[in-house]
Amino acid sequence: MLNTLWLAFFIVAALSGLYQWIVLQDSEVFSRIVQSLFGMAELSVQLMILLFGTLTLWLGFLRIAEAAGLIELLGRLLGPLFRRLMPGVPAGHPALGLITLNFAANGLGLDNAATPIGLRAMRELQTLNPDPKSATNAQILFLVLNSSSLTLLPVTIFMYRAQQGAADPTLVFLPILLATTASSVAGLLAVAFMQRLKLYDPVVLAWGGGLALAIGSLMAVLASLSSAAISATSSLMGNLTLFGIIMVFLLAGARKKVPVYECFIEGAKEGFDISKNLLPYLVAMLCAIGVLRASGALDALLDSIRWAVHAAGLDGRFVDALPTAIVKPFSGSAARGMLIETMQHFGVDSFPALLAATVQGSTETTFYVLAVYFGAVGIQRARHAIGCALIADLAGVLASIGVCYWFFG
C-alpha cells in the first residue's frame, strides 16, 4: 500500500505539472516542484533534529519509569481491556503501559511527550512481531488510534487563535472535543471491523462507558466556566500534568532505589538510534507530499469540490476551510499554515476560520504518523492501517463540519 501510494503522489504531481505547463502555459511549475522536492528534504532533516532532542529527553525519563516498575503497573491495570482489543499482546507486557501513557499525553495535547512514548510503545510491540516488515494487528490499532487524534485539551489551537487576536480563543473547545471523539470512535470501529474485534465484550463496554461518562462530565464542568477560566485551566492542566509525570517517574525511581541519572542516560542513548532510522522515511514521505502540493494538484481538487458544492445548491462556506482538512493528513506544518492563512484572510472568528481550527484540532497528520511510527521499527507493509486511519480522518472532518454548523451556523 505504501509503495502504491508513494508512487501515486509523484505520478499525480507529474500529470498536474504537465497540465499546468502545456494547457495553462505555466512554465515555472516544474521549477516549483523541484524546489519543493529539495525543500522537503531539508525540512526532513530539521524535523529529525527536533525529534532527536525530544526523543532523547523522554526516552531517558521512560527508562526510569520502566526501572521503577510504573510501565509494568500500567500494563497490569489495562490488561483486561487490551486483551480484548489487542489479543496478540500478552498480559503485563510493557507495551501496554506505554500505550496508556501515550494516549494520556495525546489526550492532554502534550504532543512533545506523546511522540517519544508512542515510538517506544511501537518498538515494544515490534518485539512480538513474527514478520518485522509487516504491521501486526496490535500495531495497526495503536497507530490508527494515534492518528485519530483524541484530544481533550487542544491548547495549541487556543494559542493560534489568541495569536490572531480572537476575543475568545477557547470558542472552539467543545466543537473540537466532539469532533475528535467522533474521529477516534470511527477509527476504532474501522479497525474492529477489519480485525473482527468483539467490542460488545462487557469489559470493553465498561471501559467505553466510563470514558464516555468522563468526557461528558468534563464537558459539563468546562461549559460552566468562562472562556478565560477554560483557557487558564487548559494551560495549567497541560503544563502541570507534563511536569507531574516527570516528577512521578523520578520519585518512583528514587523510592525503588533506581540510579535515576545513570538510568536516564541509558534511555536517552536510544534517541539517537531512533532518530537516525527515521530520516529515510521522513524524506520519502515529505518529498512526495511536497511535489504534490507544488504541482497544483491540491488546488485543483479544492476547486472541483467548490464547483460540486455550488452545483448541488449547498452552503459552500465549509469549502474555504477544506485546505486545512486536505493537507492535514500529509503535513502538520502545512495544515498549520493553512489554518493561519484562513484566519488572516477571512477573520479569526469567521465560519471558515472556526471550522479550520476545529479540523486542525480533531484530525492528525496520518501519513507523517505512519512514516514516523512504522519507520522507527522498519515496517514496510502497513496492511489496513492507512485505510482505517483515513476513515478516522474523514469522520473527524465531517463531524467538524456538522458541529460547526450546529455551533456557529
pLDDT tens-digit readout, 317-356: 788 888 788 878 876 666 776 787 788 778 888 888 899 9
pLDDT tens digits, one per residue of 84-134: 788 788 877 888 878 877 776 666 555 556 777 788 888 888 888 888 888
Determine, yes or no, domain membership for 216.
yes
pLDDT of residue 261: 92
Return the residue matching grid coordinates 507486557.
Answer: 93
The predicted structure's pLDDT at residue 11: 92
The residue range of the domain holding 321 is 27-408
Kindly report, residue by residue over 247-261, the tens digit of the pLDDT: 988 999 999 898 999
Query: Residue 75: what pLDDT?
Result: 66
- Mean pLDDT of the region 53-80: 77
**What pLDDT sits at residue 404?**
86
| pLDDT of amino acid 73 | 76
Q: By the 8 A CB rule, do 329 and 393 touch?
A: yes
Q: Read off the pLDDT of residues 198-220 as tens digits, 9 standing for 90 and up.
A: 878 888 888 878 877 877 787 67
Residue 16 counted as domain residue: no
pLDDT of residue 348: 85
Does residue 10 lie in a domain region?
no
* φ, ψ for residue 165, nearest 5 deg: 90, 25
Q: What is the pLDDT at residue 34?
A: 92
| The pLDDT of residue 188 | 87
pLDDT at 222: 66
Is pLDDT at 402 greater than 60 in this prediction?
yes
Q: Identify which has the larger pLDDT, 401 or 53.
A: 401
- Smallest CA-to-CA distance from 375 within 97, 85, 47 is with 47
Sign of CA dihedral 185, 183, 113, 376: positive
**Can you give the pLDDT at residue 15?**
92
Quickly state the pLDDT bin for 269 (edges 50, 70, 90).
Answer: confident
- In the predicted structure, residue 289 carries a pLDDT above the cut 80: no
Q: Is the separation of the CB atoms in 187 and 147 below 8 Å?
A: yes
* Structural domain contains residue 4: no
**Average pLDDT over every residue of 217-246:** 70
Cα 207 to its chain centre, rounded Å, is 22
Q: Is residue 284 part of a domain?
A: yes
Q: Which of 9-13, 135-139, 269-273, 401-405 has the lowest mean pLDDT?
A: 269-273
Domain total for the chain?
1
Cα angle at 245 between 240 and 249, to 5 degrees? 145
Confidence of residue 232 (pLDDT cuts 50, 70, 90): low
| Nearest CA-CA partner of 154 in 132, 134, 127, 174 | 174
Q: Within a domain: residue 13? A: no
pLDDT at 250 (0 to 100):
93
Residue 18 lies in a domain: no
Instruction: Tell me whether residue 20 is in a domain.
Output: no
Q: What is the mean predicted confidence (pLDDT) over 174-187? A: 85
